[in-house]
């Protein structure tokens, strides 16, 4: 039985707090124990990070980039072994776990460009005899609070640019997937990061609250549910910290009646049921516009029924389990509520409820009303709702009525439809004939509305801005006046 440890300073320590069991979602069997860190351990991690950051922040940016290059090489080498850890404790397929690591490596690759990315603007002769320049400095100690669904990619969204910018980083991963975080941090240590620059502390709300309140933690990065994101943002602000808090989603996929139906169905199914719907870019509402609305739910239900559900380490599996049994029960309750509320169940995934592991099959509802919990709440599971409208304007109005604004997609062969959608959809990430409109590392992950709290997003140029503080220096030299006096 594996006991998950924290990294405090340069020492791996087993915490002394409450112990939580870590099961394999595919079997329900316990695979590890996770003791939560206490206040003394968290404070020791912060103290070590503060000490280490002083020297790390003085390290030249090209030298920091070299450490990140080594980090990337180690992640490439360990990709398969890390993917197996993710599948064991998260449940998603090995292919999805490999993608998790791969997309994280992309961010490390981006962060290796720190010597260029951290450059500030300079203007010679902004006024007569005066020059001006902007210089970026590290924020200090940054804490990252990350979810279970991408236990490597999302920490790397934060860790890689934060380190490249000269900060020390404390990772508080999801208590549901702690072993992936350990594997990631081990790679960072092997890359040659000085002791204390990266710290790892495990736990739940008490751990988070201590990091939020600690006076030596300067910034907080968070990804999770909308209510917690709001709490993180408000609490960080009350303690004078900068924060970025990525929240939930209710991503709509509008299917026009001019869309190419077969690739559209494939894209919607992949978006809705990949990773068992447990991702913030999962499409959870499909809106059929015009005549396609008459057949959309049936086509989706037929395709969903063909997915093979099973353990993630089986190469033939197309959809794995959800993360915990209690989550599976909550999702089953949503299905019951949907039926009671008048939605039409066209594909029922509850036939897997009695199986070993935390399985819920892909589920499709038709005729979902906009006042129902199916439409309104972030379900974060393999449940797809289908609605219909007469025209694109009505579909956009339906979508924009949601309190979330993470991603939105349209499937169409019309450039006019796509352009109208891009201009009027109230979401930060837009897909055109794309089911999962995930920005690559050079672009920000830019949710809107209740999907994001803060000003600067993760990834891209926003990452450099978030993880640095700027100084603007105005310079004048009096050479001519001095020479005149000397004469």
pLDDT tens figures, 160-213: 999 999 999 999 999 999 999 999 999 999 999 999 999 999 999 999 999 999
Cβ atoms of residues 54 and 138 within 8 Å = no
Confidence of residue 1 (pLDDT cuts 50, 70, 90): low
- Catalytically active residues are 280
Render pLDDT for 32-43 as a digit per residue (tens, 0 to 9): 999 999 999 999
- Of 480, 273, 445, the closest CA to residue 364 belongs to 273
What pLDDT does residue 469 have? Answer: 97
Q: Which residues pair with 244 in a beta bridge?
A: 221
Average pLDDT over residues 142-163: 98
- Condensed to tens digits (0 to 9), the pLDDT of residues 108-137 reads 999 999 999 999 999 999 999 999 999 999
Q: Which pLDDT does position 321 carry in this prediction?
A: 98
- Indicate the pLDDT class of residue 481, thresholds 50, 70 and 90: low
With a cut of 90, say whether residue 222 has pLDDT above it.
yes
- 243 touches 217 (CB < 8 A): no
pLDDT at 480: 62
The string over 186-218, giving b where at least 16 C-beta atoms fall within 10 Å of a residue's C-beta and e elsewhere, is bbbbebebbebbbbbbbbbeebbebbbebeebb
Dihedral angle, C-alpha 459, 462, 464, 470, nearest 10 °: -170
Q: How far apart are CA 435 and CA 334, in angstroms?
A: 24
CB 322 within 8 A of CB 330: no
CA distance 246 to 244: 7
Neighbouring residues of 238: CB distance < 8 A, sequence distance ≥ 6: none
pTM of the prediction? 0.95
Torsion, Cα 7 10 14 18, to 10 degrees, reads -50
């Amino acid at each position: 039985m594996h006991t998950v440890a924290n990294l405090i300073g340069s020492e791996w320590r087993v915490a002394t707090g409450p112990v939580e069991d870590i099961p394999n979602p595919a079997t329900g069997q316990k695979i590890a124990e996770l003791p939560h860190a206490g206040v003394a351990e968290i404070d020791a991690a912060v103290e070590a990070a503060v000490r280490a950051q002083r020297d790390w922040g003085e390290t030249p940016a090209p030298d920091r980039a070299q450490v990140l290059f080594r980090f990337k090489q180690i992640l490439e080498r360990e990709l398969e072994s890390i993917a197996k850890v993710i599948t064991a404790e998260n449940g998603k397929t090995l292919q999805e776990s490999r993608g998790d690591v791969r997309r994280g490596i992309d961010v490390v690759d981006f962060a290796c460009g720190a010597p260029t990315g951290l450059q500030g603007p300079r203007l010679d002769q902004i006024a007569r005899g005066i020059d001006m320049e902007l210089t970026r400095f590290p924020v200090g100690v940054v804490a990252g609070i990350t979810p279970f669904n991408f236990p490597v990619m999302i920490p790397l969204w934060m860790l890689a640019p934060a380190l490249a910018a000269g900060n020390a980083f404390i990772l508080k991963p999801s208590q549901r997937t702690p072993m992936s975080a350990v594997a990631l941090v081990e790679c960072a240590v092997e890359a040659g990061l000085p002791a204390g620059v990266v710290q790892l502390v495990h736990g739940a709300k008490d751990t988070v609250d201590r990091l939020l309140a600690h006076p030596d933690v300067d910034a907080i990065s968070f990804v999770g549910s909308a209510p917690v994101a709001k709490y993180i943002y408000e609490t960080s602000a009350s303690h004078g910290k900068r924060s970025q808090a990525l929240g939930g989603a209710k991503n709509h996929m509008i299917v026009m009646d001019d869309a190419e139906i077969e690739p559209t169905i494939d894209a919607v199914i992949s978006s809705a049921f990949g990773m068992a719907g447990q991702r913030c870019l999962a499409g959870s509402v499909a809106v059929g516009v015009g005549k396609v609305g008459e057949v959309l739910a049936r086509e989706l239900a037929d395709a969903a029924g063909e997915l093979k559900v099973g353990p993630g380490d089986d190469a033939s599996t197309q959809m794995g389990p959800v993360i915990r049994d209690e989550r599976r029960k909550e999702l089953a309750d949503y299905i019951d509520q949907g039926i009671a509320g008048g939605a039409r169940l066209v594909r029922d995934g509850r036939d897997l409820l009695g199986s070993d592991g935390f399985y819920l099959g892909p589920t499709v509802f038709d005729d979902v009303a906009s006042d129902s919990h199916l439409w309104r709440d972030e379900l974060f599971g393999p449940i797809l709702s289908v609605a219909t409208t007469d025209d694109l304007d009505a579909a956009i109005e339906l979508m924009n009525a949601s309190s979330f604004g993470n991603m939105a997609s349209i499937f169409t062969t019309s450039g006019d439809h796509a352009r109208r959608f891009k201009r009027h959809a109230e979401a930060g990430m837009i897909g055109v004939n794309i089911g999962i409109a995930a920005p690559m590392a050079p672009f920000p992950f830019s949710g809107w509305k209740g999907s994001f709290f803060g000003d600067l997003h993760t990834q891209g140029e926003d990452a450099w801005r978030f993880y640095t503080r700027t100084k603007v220096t105005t310079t004048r030299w009096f050479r001519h006046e001095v020479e005149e006096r000397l004469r």
